[in-house]
A and B are shown apart, each in its own frame.
Chain A
Amino acid sequence: MSSLNTQLHHLQFFEPIQLQSGASFGPYTLVVETYGTLNADCSNAILVCHALNASHHVAGVNEKGQVGWWDNLIGPDKCVDTNDYFVIGINNLGSCFGSTGPMSKNPSTGEPYGSQFPVLTVEDWVKTQERVANHFQIKKFAAVMGGSLGGMQALTWAILYPERLEHCVVIASAANLSAQNIAFNQIARSAIMSDPDFHDGNFYAHGVVPNRGLRVARMVGHVTYLSDDDMDQKFGRTLRRATNEAQDYRFSFDTEFEVESYLRYQGDKFSEYFDANTYLLITRVLDYFDPAKSFNGNLNEALSQVLAKFLVISFTTDWRFAPSRSREIVKALLDNQKEVSYAEIDAPHGHDAFLLDDPRYHQLIKAYFDQMKREK
């Protein structure tokens, strides 16, 4: 097995970017990780867009020993083979893994941006990603791909820059959030904003972090990423007890069930590494995403100019971004007679399935990328 040729870049952009809100923002830094080698005509590049809490660290193991969030899919001899492709992971603007975000120092005040950081949209992100493409002199990506919010970025690429991607891979995503989805985001934001340590987003100055709010936000989010069956399989009603301990209830509000313990662990872990303002920001990015909005809600019109070939994938047990939401994208592409394949993977793991290595899912991605290679 050949090795993963990883490069970490801190790209600085001095020219401010015009945001969808009307504000302009900049200069800013984006952290970018690349894998593999860009070929001479820059035609083998793949942009991987991340979802809510991920980063530029897509594949391999970084200096902190962390495995990339899509390492099971991307790497040498993997489904997306870095021996053939030059893969780019970008930490989005406003995130908290090194790119400029609410935690970063505002040069005009010398303090962290906090609540002063501008509200962003998927379109804004894609515009910043386009500058990254220009930096690498990539005129056309072989593919732009992503799951969930990452899929929304891929879709936006196809709409904003139709000539700059050959393929668009949209996994476990949707053309906009449902009311239920926005409601879950609002619960998460309420949890964070009502934490006394939040201080209207300027908690950095107080030397505290709204951990309790972040924990609840993560717990709510996490439940929506799993399926009922999957949680039942993993935890059932099992009590949190040592092997030989009695299985009686303790009649208390401490951690009684395994599932509670798991959620608390997930919440704790998350609140240690994720920035509360970034959580607010990115959930809002999700809420605002609606490419059909400027076409009177008509997705067909929004997709009428796309040129990319699409692969759309959903998972049957994903209720956060259900197959019916992917089918809306597929239908709009079909109505426009665009090139599209659609697979509905019968996987048990809910929304999280897009991060896991179900063989049917991975075989399909592999087949698609192998075929892409033959097309060239």
Chain B
Amino acid sequence: MEIIFGSDRLKRGFARMQKGGVIMDVTTPEQAIIAEEAGAVAVMALQAVPADIRKAGGVARMADPAIIKEIMDAVTIPVMAKCRIGHFAEAQVLEALGVDMIDESEVLTPADEEFHIDKRKFKVPFVCGARDLGESLRRINEGAAMIRTKGEAGTGNIVEAIRHIRLTKRQIAELADMSDDELEAKAREYRVPVELVKETARLQRLPVVWFCAGGIATPADAAMVMQLGVDGVFVGSGIFKSSDPPRMARAIVEATRHYDDPEKVLEACMNLPQPMKGIDIRTLREEEKLQVRGV
């Protein structure tokens, strides 16, 4: 019996098991347990949530492996962790540690301005951020098993994630009526193999699981993006920057689950704790935006 590890099917399959779920940013084992109890499908182990990374400035790097390890020991659900864009050595460390998925993330300071990580070399699956179809397909071609919108992390403002969802969907829809020549031109424009573009045209969706991330702060935010067609949501600062994290966590899980049932979303929204304050994107300087990193 030949046993295979780290195949595309195993990596993409892992991402499929997350569908319909909420993945929550946590910084301590206690927070991870709160997330698990609320019904999170996985947690993202971090040293600081994006809102604090944004505030702190400086170079944001992979979290201390000791913190990630403590979180891994505290919960039974999968644990993910972030490495810097292009920083394959951080990714190797995270793989050696045994995290279940690596987020090559623009929330951290990019390490390589030219190349993303060659994710095919890893046995552990990767998730990458993308603002449009071209970015999404480039990351999938590099071996990403899951794509998430970038949104604008740490702002508690959904507007950028919505822009990325709508743009990606529109670009996929446009592929439907294209001739082979036009699809080949698109493949050149996106700098990916034409087979990948054709597969996307045929499926009329990304060929991997697609989550929303960056700016989700309330249950209604989660319900909105699920209705727009993503497979699940990441919630970063939105839970542990609210005034009552366990309740906010559970409410977002409920709203994600019942996204198409306004009565249930209403129930989830009722008597909610104070959400994070949030930032108007228009007040951000261009160099303060995280989403432009790693395209």
A and B pair up: no
Which B residues are closer than 8 A to A by beta carbons? none
